[in-house]
Amino acid sequence: MKPENATRSFLPPQGVLLRAAVMLCCALALASCSTVKGWFGGDDEEVSATDPMPLREFTPSVEVSRIWSAGVGKGERRIGARQGPAVANGRVYAAGVSHGVRALDLQTGNEIWRHASDLRLAGTPGVGEGLVVVGGLEGDVLALDAQTGEERWSAKLGNEVIAAPAIGQGAVVVRSNDGRVTAFDAASGQERWFWVQELPTLTVRGNDAPTLGPGYVFVGNDDGSVQALSLADGQPVWEQQVGYPDGRTELERMSDIDGSPVLDDIILFASSYRGQTMAIEAPSGRPLWASEYGGPGRLAMASDRLVVTDRHGNVLALHKQTGSTLWQQDGLARRNLSPAAIHGNHAVVGDFEGWLHWLDLDDGSFAARARAAGRDAIKGTPVVADGVLVVQTVGGELSAFRLQQ
C-alpha cells in the first residue's frame, strides 16, 4: 500500500502548485503573443523590414514565354560586375568569366560563333563599327570581328574593365574601374587619349558604359557628377552634379552614377545612387529638371517616361518632360533589382532569385512574371530588340523571352 504517494498524486504540495501556475501563465502569455501576432496578419503575411519582399500572387494581364536559353561559360557570381548581353543586327553577344565570347541568333539561341579565350572577361560587351569589344578583370580589352569572332586587336589597361565599351564615330571608349576613360581608334586599337577622374574614398561596386553623342562622350562619375568630354581629344566640356554627397560617414555620402547616362535627342538623363535623377541639356550641361527619386542603375526610357529602380527595390516612373512621379511599385522591395528595360508596354526588372517582373507602364501594376534559366540572380540590365528580351544571370545563363500577342 502506498497511501502517501496516492495522496500526493491528487493533492500536490504548495511548491508544485506554484510551479504549475507559473507554467500555466507562461502558456497563456505565449498564446496571447500568438493572438497579438494574428492581429497583424499572421505568419503568412508578416514581412520583416530587412527581408526581401515575398512575391505575391496576381492575375497576369499578358502572357510571357521563354523561347530559348543558353550557357556562356562561368558566370560572374559574386564579382559584382553586373554582366549582361549586348544585341545588334539580330545577334546576341555575351561573355563569360571563362570560355570567351559567343554570338548567338536572337530568335533561336543557336550559336553563330565562339571565340575561346583564357582572359577573365567579366565585362558586358559593346557592339558597333563591326566590332564586339569586351573588358576583363585584369584590365584586358579584347576587340573581335562582329561577323566572324576573329580577334581584330587587343589592349591592356591598369585596372579591371567591367563596363561595356561605347563604340561609334570611329572610336572605342572604355571606362575602367579606377575612374579612367580611354579612347581607342576603332580600326587599329591605337590609344587616342585618356581622361581620369579622382575617385571618392568609398564607392558603389561597378560602373556602366560611357554614352556617345555627336562629338561628345558623357560619363557618369562615382562622385555623383556627369562629365562631358570632347570625343576628339578627351578635353572636359562641362560637368554637372546630379547626386549630392551628404552625411557624416563615407558610406552615407556615396552618390555614384553607376548607370550609363541616357541620351534622347539633345536631352541627357542621369540617375544617382543617392536617389536623384536629372535631365540635362547635353550640349551645354544646363539642368532642366531634377527629381528626388533615382537609383544606382541605368534608366529605362519609354516615349513619355523614364523608369528607375532605387537602391531599396522600389520601381518608379518619372515624366520625361517634368521629372514628376507617375507611379511607384514597392512590391519588390529589398529584392536587389536589376535596372529596368522597356518591353512593349511594360517595364521589366530582374531580381536576386532570377525572377523577371513585367510591370504595366501605365500604372506600375504587375502584369507577368517568369524565371530565367538557372534561377541565379539577374544583376545586369535586360536588353530588348525585335520584340525579344534577353537577360544574363550571374551563373552565366542567357534566357530570351517574348510577349505573346
- List pLDDT tens digits, range 61-101: 999 999 999 999 887 877 777 899 999 999 999 998 888 99
pTM reported for the whole predicted model: 0.85
If DSSP codes are grouped into helix, strand and coil, which group holds residue 94? strand
Give the tens place of pLDDT for each residue, 19-68.
Answer: 444 344 444 444 433 333 333 333 445 667 889 999 999 999 999 999 99
How many residues belong to the chain? Answer: 405
- Which domains are assigned to the chain? 63-404 (2.130.10.10)
Residue 171 makes CB contacts below 8 A (sequence gap 6+) with 183, 184, 185, 186, 192, 212, 231
Burial of 277 (0-12, 13-18, 19+ CB in 10 A): buried
pLDDT digits (tens, 9 = 90+) for 148-202: 999 999 999 999 999 999 999 999 999 998 889 999 999 999 999 999 988 766 5
